[in-house]
Structure 1
Amino acid sequence: MSNFWVFGYGSLMWNPGFDHLRSEQALLRGAHRALCVYSWVHRGTQDRPGLVFGLDNGGACRGMAYQVAEDIWPDTLDYLRAREQTTMVYKEHWHNIELESGEKVQALVYMVDHDHAQYAGALPVERQLEIVNGAVGKSGENPEYVINTASHLEEMGIADSNLAWLAEKLKAL
């Protein structure tokens, strides 16, 4: 069995884009999901940034873990780096996660780089709404990304009242 795991907390939860042996809900301790990254490529531009999720320090995050076969791990890692490291706003880390089944594994996670120009920090939800609404990048509209992530978290039984509020406001606009 492969020991290569990837932890997804944003679009990787609903659109991993790579082959995997299995997927399972998982818990990462020591970091939380936050709309804390200005998107200059995928969901916005430098002139009109959007907002995307990052893993920021503190708390805990429930997401999806994907086990990747050893023989395709190098290609998967290349794919993830091309997707997640376009502007190097994330740092690759290996963290212990706990799968829903109780198994503990090490997984590759992408943590936000606090020193990067795209790090937005903790923004009030009203400001998040202003930034997300109308932003578009090469991967599509920013509101779609936020609404899809909120929807998938809800399907997974993960409560996030701020994200739910934001998604409802975006749907109404």
Structure 2
Amino acid sequence: MLLTPDLVALTLRDVHDDGPEPSWTPLSQVELDDLVDRLDQEAGGDPIWVFAYGSLIWNPEFEATARERATAYGWHRSFSLKIERWRATSEQPGLMMALERGGRCDGVMLRLPNEHRRKNLGALVAREIRYREVAGMVRWIQVQTPKGPRRALTFWASTRRSGLTQPLPAETTATLIASACGQGGSCAQYLHNTIVDLEAEGIRDRNLWHLQELVAERIKAQQRS
């Protein structure tokens, strides 16, 4: 991989917390509780499986009681959600991954513990969905596993109609990822960690591998300049 830990380290810097995403409205506790209650009710008596395709693979909010490979057909990973906080700033916006329509996405299924299910689900949703404008980006999707089809909860699953994501040319995407850093780390670090953990699961996303080459080139070019 061309995006080495040494190159990733060059993108990291101390950034203070500038508060919530500009123009986004933080969810109130009541709105968060309502969202969690709805998801819990929609799951019914069935176990809740979460489809992880990015950071949840290497940094889940809960101790999964089961883990298995899965494929979401009709979706693909895309660095298409523009951010100005966490791994970016308003001065240097970045991108985080979302699921976009089309293609396939190989990922990992994580089963939420049945014990204290509502509490674990609440912590997970609070971490992933902090703003009113993106509350619709948590949804149930059908995935295929070695044991057959399953219904899974996933986050940041978008359609272009939402207006929240915008797929960009690979070169533009790479430039944003190579430059952005916030109090939560850099976008290049996020990309690197995702690729490494996907590889550990036996998953190689060729789009991410192409992207990391472009990001590595951008970081080197920035250092030369």
**Richer in strand (by share):** 1
Deviation per CA, 1:41-81, whole angstroms, max 9, x where unpaired?
33213342211110111222111110112223212222222
Could you tell me which runs of 5 or more consecutive residues in structure 2 were left unpaired when the two chains were aligned: 1-44, 220-225
**Richer in helix (by share):** 2
**1:95 paired residue number:** 141
Alignment partner of 1:20 is 2:64: yes
Report sequence identity in percent.
31
Question: 1:24-103 residue pairs with structure 2 within 5 A?
Answer: 24-87=68-131, 88-89=133-134, 91-99=137-145, 101-103=146-148
The answer on whether the counterparts of 1:125 and 1:162 sit within 8 Å (CA) in structure 2 is no
Deviation per CA, 1:101-157, whole angstroms, max 9, x where unpaired?
3232211112125355641x2211111111111211232111100111122223333
Number of residues of Structure 1 aligned to a counterpart in Structure 2: 171
What SS is found at the alignment partner of 2:160? coil
The answer on whether the counterparts of 2:195 and 2:204 sit within 8 Å (CA) in structure 1 is no
Q: Distance in 2 between matches of 1:113 and 1:38?
A: 14
Q: Distance in 1 between matches of 2:162 and 2:56?
A: 21
Distance 1:155 1:129, change over 3 A: same
What SS is found at the alignment partner of 1:129? helix
Q: Distance in 1 between matches of 2:86 and 2:159?
A: 17
CA RMSD of aligned residues (A): 2.2
**1:6 paired residue number:** 50
With normalisation by structure 2, the TM-score equals 0.68
What SS is found at the alignment partner of 2:171? helix
**1:157 paired residue number:** 202
Which is higher, the Rg of structure 1 or of structure 2?
2
**1:136 paired residue number:** 181
What SS is found at the alignment partner of 1:166? helix
Aligned with residue 114 of structure 1, among 154, 157, 160 = 160
What SS is found at the alignment partner of 2:137? strand
Distance 1:92 1:75, change over 3 A: same
The answer on whether the counterparts of 1:39 and 1:118 sit within 8 Å (CA) in structure 2 is no
